[in-house]
Structure 1
Amino acid sequence: MYINKHGFFLMLSLAAAQAQALDSPDQRIRLKVELTPQQTLVYSITRDAKPVVLASSLGLQLAGADLTHALSLKPASRVRPVSDHYEMAVGKKRKISYRANEQVFPVQNAAGQTMDLIFRVSNDGVAFRYVVKGADPARKQFVSEATGFTFAPAATAWLQPMSVAKTGWSDTNPSYEEHYQREVAVGTPSPSKAGWVFPALFKSGDTWVALTEAGMDGSFHASRLQAEAPNASYRIGSPMDAEVYTGGKLLAESSAELVTPWRIIALGSLATLVESTLGTDLAAPAIAFDKAKVKPGHAAWSWALLKDDATVYEVQKKFIDYAADMHWDYALIDADWDRKIGYEKIRELAAYAATRKVGVLVWYNSSGAWNKTAYSPKGALLTREQRVKEFARLKDMGIKGVKVDFFAGDGASMIGYYVGILKDAAAAGLLVNFHGATLPRGWARTYPNLMTAEAIRGLEFTTFEQKDQDLVARHVATIPFTRNLFDPMDYTPMVFGDIPKIKRVTRNGFELAESVLFLSGIQHFADTPEGMASAPAYVKTLLQELPRSWDASKFIDGYPGTHAVIARQSGKAWYVAGLNADDTPRTVTMDLGFLGKRKGKLISDGKTEREFTESEISGGQAVVTIEPHGGFVAVFK
């Protein structure tokens, strides 16, 4: 009788282990983890009881350990409430609170090797990571990941192809600089064999989904989505062989625990995604860094329109004066400054800039042997010994930060190189901007000195060829919902004047709106002193007073690729910015009830493409008509 009773309870326990559920704190999102009859592990997600992510595969393949097949799912741990509070000077929100329910799902294969699958479900999405520990295998070497994301066939996607390594100008790819494919059918193959980049945006019914990752400590490679997605099932992909620091490792391995980054599935309404902070909620807490040196700001930058010939002493002094006149915080001196100006004259410029309350930032070429770039300083940051020496020299010169360019991709050794630069720059009190680079994946939280990163087909491309300029309106209207959703982005926006040899297709209001819509710890403005002189005084005043960081952000209206309207708060002031990528006017009714009856100033497009107009606007239900390829900024103080 005891044996039968024991067996009965044992069967109940095993049955319960086959399908286990975890809900968000508000109980609107439900995660289900279960074992299939084929002994593989899958998960699914519903929102308000409607399917969002269909049954999708889980698991890791390690050298000597297959944790994808012949699995058993053990009873999950108790649900643990997770609560976190942190602050960021860079991003959509300053004071951030994160709440989630966490549960650990232990997994075992037929050989007795084990893995923990840790899930967290918050009110704005789901995150999970794998942890492999124990003595078997002794050396944990990543081979592949079975993680998938399966959508209903009717879902649509906004995706950026991953460029193939060692292609493009001087073999500098991949740099996350391709155009997004907008509103494509799920399952559409990537035009690149390298796959699709994060963040990846999807719409399934009335639910929006953004896929990304966070928690990159320098020990793991960065991932992407594979090029093929049969049956609308996207799988995690690995970097290409060439995406390494010379002689370094491509994929993660560990002699202790092997811990993957968090795989993040943000989901909800479009407003939920735009206001979500999941991309930093799942990043590691900040390292020690002097808060007094965390100084977001605005920068003048000559290279955007004037290119290499402007990297000379007198032009850079002029741009320092320009930054001072605009009440901006920095001036960036770009490539070849060491050869065309020299260290001692840069020291002079930094000293002069300090008298004008402007900080100087300088450019570096990250590359060793992984591409053919010749710009300098080149190869000066390759080792920790070199970085410590160079950063100490810059600190002594009065330099405030570095822009580091031309990385090789997403291999584990290259991610370790990024993190090494961030840590050594932090130790020297220097700010960092990555260019020709990977997606930051939450680094702005972990490393407060990371102000921004490119990882976008930015304004510079629209100065090279007319075809990029012709596509820019749709591209820009996609970015707030994709690339700039969680991580700071150095798009280098805003031109009011002419672009040499290019016909600019956006109106001035569109350009102005980018200054508020785009999130970057240091916003490098592309226009020249001459271009800024063409703007009326009230536009110049707005840009002189524009906040350096934001306390809160609120989605007002928009749709990826057509238009975006977002409000951002700084202290008691609110800035509402919008732009229209369509070829026809768009009338937007904005719910600004959170502003009460406050009056504000509206700066929008004038009669011609290069004019502005200023008018009054009120809170409540505000109606604005945005011109084709136009935009606006409304300021409520």
Structure 2
Amino acid sequence: MKYKIKSIILLLLSATQIVKAQTGYEIKSPDKELSVSVFLKDKQIFYTINRKNVPVLANSALGIIREDADFAKNLSMLSVSKNELVKDNYTLKNGKRLNNQYLANKRVLHLQNASSKKMDIIFQVSNDGIAFRYYFPDADTQLKKITEEKTAFHFFESTKAWMQPMSVAKTGWESTNPSYEEHYQKEISVGTPAPTEAGWVYPALFNYKDTWLLVTEVGLDGSYCATRLKQNSPEGNYQIGFPDAREAFTNQNVNPESILPWYTPWRVIAVGSLKKITESTLGTDLAAPAKADINPHLFQLGKASWSWIMLKDNSIIYDIQKKYIDFAADMKWEYCLIDVDWDTKIGYEKMQQLTDYAKSKNVGLLLWYNSAGDWNTVKYTPKNKLTTHENRLKEFALLQKMGIKGIKVDFFGGDGQSMIRYYLELFEDAAKFGLNVNCHGATLPRGWQRTYPNLVTMESIKGMEFITFDQNNANEEPLHVTTIPFTRNIFDPMDFTPMNLSKIPNIKRKTTHAFELALPVIFQSGVQHLAESPDGMATVPGYVKSFLQTFPSSWEDTKLIDGYPGKFIVMARKAGSKWYIAGINGEAGTKTVTFDMAEYKGKKASLITDGDEPLSFTRVEMTPNADLKINMKAFGGFVIVIE
């Protein structure tokens, strides 16, 4: 017996010595193409990424600093779990793919700091990327506060980047920043400082040799702030940064705080070819599943008419909104959005009449709200109706009784933890009353549309409204909108409010009609608020109107056919038995694209593209059977429907 006990002790000591002696731990993707190495160096922890045995991310730091404990230095490895295969299957109507499968290898590193406090790092490596998060396993009811996250992404010197600057808190119109509404800087050298100390937003796209990498975060559940990348990245080393101290909900906290145990959000790096990361669903694979108490069948995706985008504030009157309800009905669109100051210019009583009228036309109404609070000085109303749970329940009950289908909430105040909690409480309360939610002047959704099925879309982009404000934005549109399918819209729904086919008051549009027609296919949004007006729609050919009456609100599959950020994109999306292929050219010269149509052999296809005359359409019926060559005009585009 003594001999057996002694043998067990020796085995345990031997295992402990192996853990202490081993400096690196590897996690590979199921297909073995990607691998992550995690290692301790001078009692600090780092990771690297290889693709096809070639390094694509250099030594990058890990670690967390809490007020009560430092988990960035003087670390020791207690143990490392064995590889575990993680599987998940889920459906998501509000995304690039209806049926989604996630498969990854998982390993957990169990660490402790110099004071014997514990922290785990959980790595999951799938065929399309790497994800990791921190976990504090101890139980403690005393509030813990994180002051800094040391997580970094260290890119090699020759890497190029497509990144959107973060705007500084309390700047911009009526102090409404940050709202994720800047143009992406395109193909810049890594290490280029952000224009301001606010840093860079997610997603951030990088290209190193033949590998593309996209950095974002997923899994914000209210126990953490939203983060960004810091302004300075010496030698291409980007560190996670926390929000400005002013990005809070009514003077509450900004930086992360929680009792223990405590999971942080996932840090996500999609890795592969441009096609692989564009088709990836990592941004929702790692999000929390749909809330069990939210019935997804209560919330309908769709298209919406919207007067404000072209006609602005003066259009929010009864007669014009009735005209736009008729417009939605004629177009077979599900919704009409009624924007700012409806409560004073139309009023609740007359809004009830509009709601009843819209219902008779099979159109649902969506109503605008000011997020309110002390974080902006916007005067638009309704205001101060959503900032407390009690007020929300009262207002949402009234909207439900009226028959309103959803709300658009505007002008949020940043990324602090308290503001993130406000978003989530808003989604949950709205869901109880069958209201879908659209947020403008807002943060990046970060996979929330999976967790909250009533979250149909969020703006978080310099969208069509900016094109209507300023000619410079109109001039930038072709480059901008050929960048964001690879960045902002890659995982999350985006309310760009696209598609003007006629004219924009006081603006000379840079893009062609077919370019604009392609945008609702290329952009993914649970509700597409379309920018065209009834008068503008009356000028387009019947086949264009028919296309816009029948194009889908959700997709079963998505494929990138070809493209390059800021230059062009050709994307295919499937709905039912039909495929929709759309392309846009962001450059000033004609671009020829050729793609294989063999899989559609024997089917009927209809091509809508730019006509010979300026700002005109042409249609061609075809039977695909081989390679198809399409010449896109400068700043032009096309749409193909295959059935």
Please state if 1:531 is matched with 2:540: no
1:57 to 61, 65, 69: 61
Offset from partner CA, 1:159-195 (integer Å, 9 cap, x none): 0000000000000000000000000001110002100
Q: Compared with structure 1, are the counterparts of its residues 121 and 495 closer, same or farther at alpha carbon in structure 2 (3 Å cutoff)?
A: same
3-state SS of 2:79 partner: coil
- Please say if 1:83 is aligned against 2:87: yes
Q: Which amino acid aligns with 1:276?
A: S
Question: Which of the residues 253, 257, 262 maps onto 2:261?
Answer: 257
**Residue 224 (str. 1) matches residue 228 (str. 2):** yes
1:432 shift after superposition: 0.3
Match of 2:80, SS? coil
Q: Distance in 1 between matches of 2:607 and 2:12?
A: 74
Question: In the alignment, what sits opposite 1:23?
Answer: 28
Deviation of the 1:251 alpha carbon: 1.2
Cα distance change of structure 1 residues 465 and 609 upon mapping to structure 2, 3 Å threshold = same
Partner of 1:635: 641
Paired with 2:135 and 2:13, the residues of 1 have a C-alpha distance of 31
2:627 to 621, 628, 637: 621
Q: Secondary structure at the match of 1:444?
A: helix
Q: Secondary structure at the match of 2:423?
A: helix
Closer, same or farther: CA 419–174 of 1 in aligned 2, 3 Å? same
Q: 1:451 aligns with which of 437, 446, 456?
A: 456
Residue aligning to 1:582: 587
Question: Residue by residue, what CA displacement relative to the aligned partner does 1:332-378 show, whole Å, maximum 9, x if unpaired?
Answer: 00000000000111111111001111000000000211111000001
1:277-325, CA deviations, whole angstroms, 9 ceiling, x for partnerless residues?
0000000000132233221100000000000000000000000000000
Cα distance in structure 2, aligned partners of 1:6 and 1:173 = 56
Q: 1:407·1:436 contact (CA, 8 Å) conserved in 2?
A: yes
Are the equivalent residues in 1 in contact too, given 2:410–2:440 (CA < 8 A)? yes
How many Å separate the matches in 1 of 2:599 and 2:425? 43
Counterpart CA distance in 1 for 2:61 and 2:48 is 9
**Contact kept? 1:279, 1:441, Cα under 8 Å:** yes
Partner of residue 612, structure 2: 607
SS at match of 1:496: coil
Counterpart for residue 152 of structure 2: 148
| SS at 2:469 equivalent | coil
- Measured after TM superposition, the shift of residue 133 of structure 1 is 2.9
- Identify if the C-alpha distance between structure 1 residues 147 and 434 changes in structure 2 by more than 3 Å, giving closer, same or farther: same
Matches within 5 A, 1:561-576: 561-576=566-581
- SS of the residue aligned with 1:381? coil
1:345 aligns with 2:350: yes
**Structure 1, unaligned runs of 5 or more:** none
- Where do 1:99-118 residues align within 5 Å? 99-118=103-122
* 1:506 pairs with 2:511: yes
Change (3 A) 1:57 1:495: same
Alignment equivalent of 2:339, drawn from 334, 356, 370: 334
Residue 434 of structure 1 aligns to which amino acid in structure 2?
C
Paired residue secondary structure (1:73): strand
1:92 partner SS: coil
User: Residues 5 and 377 (structure 1 numbering): CA distance in 2 closer, same or farther, change over 3 Å?
Assistant: closer
Moved more, 7-16 or 126-135: 7-16
Give unpaired runs (5+ residues) of structure 2. Answer: 1-5
Aligned pair 1:163/2:160, yes or no?
Answer: no
Q: Helix, strand or coil: the match of 2:552?
A: coil
* Contact 1:89/1:294 (8 A) holds in 2: no
Encode CA deviations 1:381-409: one digit per residue, 9 max, x unaligned: 00010101100100000100000000000
1:283 and 2:287 matched: yes
Amino acid at match of 1:337: W
Q: Percent identity?
A: 50
**Could you state the TM-score of these two structures normalised by the residue count of structure 2?**
0.97
Inter-partner Cα distance in structure 2 for 1:89 and 1:7: 53
Q: Secondary structure at the match of 2:581?
A: strand
CA contact (8 A) 2:145 2:256 kept: yes
Distance 2:557 2:15 in 1: 52
Say if 1:454 and 1:241 are closer, same or farther in 2 by CA, change over 3 A.
same
Q: CA RMSD in A?
A: 1.4
Question: How far apart are 1:421 and its partner, in Å?
Answer: 0.4
User: How far apart, in 1, do the equivalents of 2:458 and 2:79 lie?
Assistant: 42
Taking the aligned partners of 1:7 and 1:83, their CA distance within structure 2 comes to: 34
Please say if residues 365 and 379 of structure 1, whose CA atoms lie closer than 8 Å, have aligned partners that are also in contact.
yes
How many residue pairs are counted as aligned between the two chains? 635
CA shift, 1:534, in A, is 1.2
| Aligned counterparts of 2:592 and 2:357: Cα–Cα separation in 1 | 48
